[in-house]
Amino acid sequence: MPNCALFLILLCAPLVGAIFNGVRFRSHNARLAGAVASGAVVVSFLTACFLVMKLAALPVDARAITVEFYNWITVGGFHAKAGFVLDPISAVMILIITGVGSLIHIFSIGYMAHDERPSKYFAYLNFFIFNMLLLVLGENLLVMFVGWEGVGLCSYLLIGFWFEDQEKASAGMKAFITNRIGDAGFLLGIFLLYVTFGTVNFAELNQLVPAAAEVGWLGPITLSCLFLFIGATGKSAQIPLYVWLPDAMAGPTPVSALIHAATMVTAGVYMIVRLSHVFILAPNAMLVVAAVGAVTALFAATMGLTQWDIKKVLAYSTISQLGYMFLGVGVGAFSSGLFHVMTHAFFKALMFLGAGSVIHALDGEQDMRKMGGLAKKLPITHLTFLCVYLAIIGLPPFAGFFSKDEILWYTYISPHGGFVLWLIGLIGAVFTAFYMTRLMALTFWGKSRVASSVHPHESPASMAIPLIVLGVASVVGGWLGMPESIRGLLPLHAPDVFHNWLNPAVALVKWPEVSPVLEWSLMGISVALVGATVVFAYYAYIKEPELSAKMAKDLGPVYEVVANKYYVDELYFGRVINPLVDLAKGLWAYIDVNFIDNITYFLSDWVESAGGGLRALQTGSLQQYALYLVLGVVVIIFTIVVI
């Protein structure tokens, strides 16, 4: 089958599903809607697998399949084609999107079984997959931007899916507008790249940019990278635009799993990897990316420590993990950043689905203070959650260990990184271990605090199977990219599949030669610290539950500030949004209504009084006016002829 047909199936299967469900949006048949939607994504997934195999068969230095459908916008020297490219980078992404996407679609069938508008839900979810595929497959910045805004739109619609609740609708709006701030930056980045290099095509950009790195802050490459990164902070919820993601938890939980954990929020990381050859030339921009990533990783982890809503903990955890990804790509470890995108997609998607399963079992309860002891009632959920818990805190041999430790390692040795960034990342990892243990302890372990009216029950098979598949992936997913030091110890000497696949497609940083002792000791430090934290947290929440309450009390004001999320929302509303609304009201009242219109009235009064003398002419007789008209024309003609 020709490539363009395969691309068409890959992209349009979810679109067709979306249209099918969108047209019959009034239907209540969740099974049919879910089956069609899931089927569409599975078709997409199978096509993706086939295409990736085709790609893998190509020689390493020619691994790119480009398909151009038509010229989208052509004006003057500006060209943007509706073109798509499958290369090792987008290959990883489409497998994640359609693979994890299929599982979450299947999970949703059970989750949304009793919802009033299942068709609409699945239409949006399918449309999201379509847009996400546009985003990662686009051959130029503009097609990427189409997907970029498209996923934002789907996110808006899905966060506010239960729109009868104004708060949920507001959360959707907040997400869209915060993302728009980022998008404005993204647009400026596109403009600057186009003006500088005359193209927005990724392949051309990656070749065209001069080989020498740019010094300083105001060069075109550095500036465009920074502008694009503003876009990334919006979409991928980094400081200072992360505020929308915790609120986005208002959406249905599978949506949080798919959009706000596994796929959409990683778009910013993907964008930087996609433009790695450009970013690598702007060391200052890289520094900003790494620093923002590291600080976000730590900052969000602290906020995760104090949340009671299970989904909010996961939301801050996502922000924090995204921070690690940016830290990775910021220090030049592009393939490691994407590696973490993949492992995170597995374990965080499962976490949200597991949380969904818990919430489903507890009839919608999200407060962890009303959970506890669920391990016995929900054995599958607990077991799978346990796997991802071990994965995210980074204990070997679970997936998160390999990807996170790799990022920390490269941060330490990279010429773009350093000790400070590594230390911030390490502290973040310790906090991660703490809040995740806390979550496990409050939800699954210890005594049950579940209301007596609620009878927890394990979810149906359609929900359990995706959990198991993702659980397995979270355990073994990391083995695809083990570091040399560990692979050397294994009997079979397994190849480093992930990085071998990706490295030819991204910019490579020359890493300094470092002794293996250092690598082992850094690994040892982080594992030991994480282990100690787990034990401590377990002790504080299970063995001596009073201890955690006492800690919160002892910390007093510090705890208050953290529990109130550092008052960032209040700051944004108080210092930016409200003043802007006041300004707008002022402009309207004083400039429009008072100033401009009053000038107009003044002028018209003046004209009226000046025209008083001419009033004699205005008799109201039509014949007289006609006479004036004729006279006027005669005068004009006369003047012209004379001159």
Partner 1 sequence: MLLSIITFLPAVFALVVWGVASEKTAKKWTLAFTIVEFIASLLMFAHFKPGVAGLQLVEHRSWIPAIGVDYFLGVDGLSFWLILLTTLLTPLALVGAWTSVNKREKTFCLTVLFLESTMVGTFVAMNSILFYCFFEASLVPMYFMIGIWGGPRRIYATVKFFIYTMAGSIFMLLGIIALMLIYAKTHDGQISANITDFYKLHGQLPFVAGTFLNTQTLLFFAFSLAFAIKVPVFPFHTWLPDAHVEAPTPGSVILAGVLLKMGTYGFLRFSIPIFPEAAEHWAWVFFLIGAFGIIYGALVAMVQPDMKKLVAYSSVSHMGYVMIGLFAMNPQGIMGALYQMLNHGVSTGALFLLVGMIYERTHSREIKDYGGLASIAPLFTIAFLIVTMSSIAVPMTNGFVGEFLILLGTFEANRFVAAFSVLGVILGASYMLWMVKKIFFGKPKGVVVEKHEHGLDLLPREIAILVPLVILIFWMGLFPNTFLRYSEASVENLVQHHGQYEVQAPKVLAPHLRVAAREGVR
Q: Rounded distance, CA 234 to CA 513, Å?
A: 36
Closer residue to partner 1 (CB): 490 or 587: 587
Closer residue to partner 1 (CB): 85 or 171: 171
Q: How far is the CB of 200 from partner 1 (least distance, A)?
A: 10
> Rule CB under 8 A: is residue 188 a binding residue for partner 1?
yes
Angstrom CA distances, 16 to 44, 308, 325, 561, stand at: 11, 40, 33, 48
> Rule CB under 8 A: is residue 634 a binding residue for partner 1?
no
Q: Rounded distance, CA 52 to CA 109, Å?
A: 28
> Rule CB under 8 A: is residue 594 a binding residue for partner 1?
no
Closer residue to partner 1 (CB): 144 or 300: 144
Of the candidate spans 147-155, 309-317, 567-575, 620-628, the one that interacts with partner 1 by CB under 8 A turns out to be 147-155
Q: How far is the CB of 139 from partner 1 (least distance, A)?
A: 15
> Rule CB under 8 A: is residue 166 a binding residue for partner 1?
yes
Residues 195-234 that bind partner 1 (CB under 8 A): 195
User: C-alpha angle with apex 354: 233 to 454, nearest 5 degrees?
Assistant: 125
Could you count the other beta carbons within 10 Å of the beta carbon of residue 240?
15
Place of tokens 């915790």: 246
Nearest to 267 by CA among 483, 90, 449: 90
Among 12, 113, 184, 507, binds partner 1 (CB under 8 A): 184
Could you count the other beta carbons within 10 Å of the beta carbon of residue 170?
14
Binding string to partner 1 for residues 537 to 556, with x set by CB under 8 A, is what?
A: --------------------
Q: How far is the CB of 237 from partner 1 (least distance, A)?
A: 17
Beta bridge partners of 81: 71
Q: How far is the CB of 579 from partner 1 (least distance, A)?
A: 11
Among 118, 160, 251, 478, binds partner 1 (CB under 8 A): 160
> Rule CB under 8 A: is residue 191 a binding residue for partner 1?
yes
> Rule CB under 8 A: is residue 406 a binding residue for partner 1?
no
Place of tokens 């433009």: 275
CB 226 within 8 A of CB 291: no
Q: How far is the CB of 171 from partner 1 (least distance, A)?
A: 10
Close Cβ partners of 229 (under 8 Å, ≥ 6 residues apart): 185, 189, 268, 272, 285, 288, 289, 292
Q: Rounded distance, CA 37 to CA 458, Å?
A: 24
Q: Rounded distance, CA 98 to CA 107, Å?
A: 14
Among 581, 627, 629, 630, binds partner 1 (CB under 8 A): 581
Burial label for 101, CB within 10 Å (0-12, 13-18, 19+), is buried
Q: Rounded distance, CA 540 to CA 562, Å?
A: 19
Residues 54-113 that bind partner 1 (CB under 8 A): 70-78
Q: How far is the CB of 481 from partner 1 (least distance, A)?
A: 34
Q: Rounded distance, CA 135 to CA 353, Å?
A: 24
Q: How far is the CB of 291 from partner 1 (least distance, A)?
A: 24
Closer residue to partner 1 (CB): 145 or 402: 145
> Rule CB under 8 A: is residue 142 a binding residue for partner 1?
yes
> Rule CB under 8 A: is residue 455 a binding residue for partner 1?
no
Of the candidate spans 4-12, 182-190, 243-251, 282-290, the one that interacts with partner 1 by CB under 8 A turns out to be 182-190
Place of tokens 């579940």: 450
Q: How many residues bind partner 1 (CB under 8 A)?
A: 57
CB 203 within 8 A of CB 275: no
> Rule CB under 8 A: is residue 600 a binding residue for partner 1?
yes
HEC profile for 412-462?
A: HHCCCCCHHHHHHHHHHHHHHHHHHHHHHHHHCCCCCCCCCCCCCCCCCHH
Closer residue to partner 1 (CB): 514 or 591: 591
Of the candidate spans 255-263, 265-273, 384-392, 582-590, the one that interacts with partner 1 by CB under 8 A turns out to be 582-590
Among 153, 472, 507, 527, binds partner 1 (CB under 8 A): 153
Place of tokens 């039509």: 622
Q: How far is the CB of 330 from partner 1 (least distance, A)?
A: 24
Q: How far is the CB of 77 from partner 1 (least distance, A)?
A: 8
Could you count the other beta carbons within 10 Å of the beta carbon of residue 330?
31
Nearest to 341 by CA among 280, 283, 272: 272
> Rule CB under 8 A: is residue 580 a binding residue for partner 1?
yes
Q: Rounded distance, CA 184 to CA 181, Å?
A: 5
SS3 content of the chain, % helix, strand, coil (to 5): 75, 5, 20
Structure tokens at 129: 């997959």
Q: How far is the CB of 144 from partner 1 (least distance, A)?
A: 10
> Rule CB under 8 A: is residue 636 a binding residue for partner 1?
yes
Q: Rounded distance, CA 391 to CA 402, Å?
A: 9
Could you count the other beta carbons within 10 Å of the beta carbon of residue 134?
22
> Rule CB under 8 A: is residue 183 a binding residue for partner 1?
yes
Of the candidate spans 56-64, 166-174, 204-212, 359-367, the one that interacts with partner 1 by CB under 8 A turns out to be 166-174
> Rule CB under 8 A: is residue 622 a binding residue for partner 1?
no
Residues 17-56 that bind partner 1 (CB under 8 A): 25-26
Q: What are phi and psi of 252, to 5 degrees?
A: -55, 145
> Rule CB under 8 A: is residue 643 a binding residue for partner 1?
yes
Among 494, 584, 617, 631, binds partner 1 (CB under 8 A): 584
> Rule CB under 8 A: is residue 641 a binding residue for partner 1?
yes
Among 20, 107, 176, 326, binds partner 1 (CB under 8 A): 176
HEC profile for 499-524?
A: HHHHHHHCCCCCCCCCCHHHHHHHHH
Structure tokens at 534: 């787990």
Q: How far is the CB of 18 from partner 1 (least distance, A)?
A: 13
Closer residue to partner 1 (CB): 69 or 520: 69
Strand intervals (E) in 310-447: none
Residues that bind partner 1 (CB under 8 A): 25-26, 70-78, 142, 145-146, 149-150, 153, 156, 160, 163-166, 169-170, 173, 176-177, 180-181, 183-184, 187-188, 190-192, 194-195, 580-581, 583-585, 587-588, 591-592, 596-597, 600, 604, 636-637, 640-641, 643
